[in-house]
Each structure stands twice: as C-alpha cells, then as structure tokens.
Amino acid sequence: MTDHRLLEEGSQLAINFEKLASIARSGSLVVPVAVQDADTMEVLVLAYVNQEALDYTLAHGVAAFWSTARNELWVKGATSGDTLQIVEVRINCEQNSLLYRVRPLGSGTCHTKGPDGSARSSCFYRRLENGQLVMDG
Amino acid sequence: MTDHRLLEEGSQLAINFEKLASIARSGSLVVPVAVQDADTMEVLVLAYVNQEALDYTLAHGVAAFWSTARNELWVKGATSGDTLQIVEVRINCEQNSLLYRVRPLGSGTCHTKGPDGSARSSCFYRRLENGQLVMDG
C-alpha cells in the first residue's frame, strides 16, 4: 500500500498532531465544525469553517467548509456530488465550534470508498482497539 | 449580562475565529475530537486531545482532553462529576481528528447550566436562525 492508502485503509494508528499548527501557520481564521446526519445521527466528518464558508452555508443551505489544505472555499459535493443539505447550524457555549446537522444528498460523505466502491457514509469508519485500527463490518 | 454570560446565554453571534491560532501559538500538539452520546447520539462537545490525553482516555476508559486554555490534562468530570465513560474511540480517514462515543455518568456535559440549574447535556444548545442564536425548548 502507498503511504496514503496505509493512512486511510490501514490498521496502524498514526495520528497527525501537526494539523492544527499548520492551519494556524497558513493564517486561516477557522473554527472546527462537526457534521452530523440529522436522520441517522451518525457523525460524518469534522472539518473547518471560516466566515466565508459559514456565510455560503447559510445562504445556500448546503454545507461549505474552508479547505485548510488548499486554502480555498470547499463546497462539499461540488465535484463529487456528495452534497450535504443543511438541516440546522448549531454553535457551542463558547462560540468557538460549530455543529452542522445535515441530510446527505449523494452516495456518502467521506472521500474514501468502501468495499462496494461508493463513498463511505462517514469518515469515522475505524475504531481504536488495543492500539490498532479496526474497520467496521 | 456580563460579556461571558452574553457569549454563552445571549442570542448574538460572536464566533471566536482566533481560537485555533492561539492553540497553535501555545505549542500544543492536539487534534480536535467530537464527543457523541452513544445512546442518544447527541453531539455533546467538541474538544482537543494530545497524545497524553488520548493515552489517559484509553487507559482509564473515561474521556480526557487537553485543556487548550489551561495547557493541562483535563479529565472530564474530575471536579464537576460529569464524567464521560468511553464506549469507543474512532478516528477519521486522514487520522487528524477523533470521535469519542461516550456514556455520560453525571448530570450533563456542558459547563453551562440550563433553566433547571443542572449542566446542559450538550454544549450545542443554540442554533443559528436568521443571524441570531436561538435556544432549544
């Protein structure tokens, strides 16, 4: 497996603790957003939002993020078709994180694909067990 | 209302987009973690975890975070009694965020209190509606 596939499909835990520091270095003013399926209640993905992405989300009723890798507005599903329709946007006590409750309009949410070849419903498809990552199902 | 109460109990949106930059400046190597009630499926809080907090969580079976405000290990419930028992720990595709699925053992999860005087079950007790924050219920 390539390093990339190992990271995404492997059983080896290799948490990237550098991500937030690199976001800060990029100068992006973002807050984290947890995204939850409003019907199944599954947590789908954790992403980042700046003012522009939040404004887009509220104006268009679809989940938009700030891509901290590409430093650009990321309208989820714009290329993949895996659009997330907004049911509601919630905010935490201290107003430094968000919760998007959504309805997926495509085949899934994650950019990785499951055994059936379609996008996984959630990015959290592995659990930690005795120091290893275990796939569901 | 004090500024603090306005932030937590008010209807005015005032997102703190500076939080992640300040975490990075502190030198903490953390990843965000979404915390979900494994029974009700409610998203309870979004926090941060470093290697030490993750190790503590896995060793003791209760949710621990890294307090990015105090720069110290934060064993949730150690002072409030609102311990979160770990049901499972999940990780995303790119291994840069976590999901704790938990069972709350106390009266709630948020440090704020609802009208009945007990801790709110979730920090996400307000939704955005037409540019204002609206409380549930």
Better pLDDT: B137 or B106: B106
pLDDT digits (tens, 9 = 90+) for A89-99: 999 999 999 99
Percent of chain A at pLDDT > 90 equals 86
Q: In which band, very low, low, confident or very high, does the pLDDT at B67 lie, cut at 50, 70 and 90?
A: very high
Q: How much is the pLDDT for B113?
A: 94
Q: Where are the alpha helices (DSSP H) in B1-137?
A: 3-9, 19-26, 51-60
Q: In which band, very low, low, confident or very high, does the pLDDT at A40 lie, cut at 50, 70 and 90?
A: very high
The Cα of A14 is separated from the nearest Cα of chain B by a number of Å equal to 7
CB spacing of A16 vs B58 below 8 angstroms: no
CB spacing of B15 vs A133 below 8 angstroms: no
A93 touches chain B (CB under 8 A): yes
- Number of neighbouring beta carbons within 10 Å of residue A54: 24
Region of poorest pLDDT, from A3-7, A61-65, A127-131: A3-7
Q: Quick check: ipTM above 0.85? A: yes
A75: tokens are 């309208």
Does the pLDDT at position A137 exceed 60? Answer: no
Cα dihedral across residues A130, A127, A6, A66: positive or negative: negative
Q: How much is the pLDDT for B26?
A: 82
CB spacing of A96 vs B124 below 8 angstroms: no
Q: How much is the pLDDT for A3?
A: 83
Distances (CA, A) of A16 to A7, A22, A110, B20, B76: 10, 11, 18, 16, 23
Rg of chain B over all Cα atoms, to the nearest angstrom: 15
Q: Are B64 and B74 in contact (CB under 8 A)?
A: yes
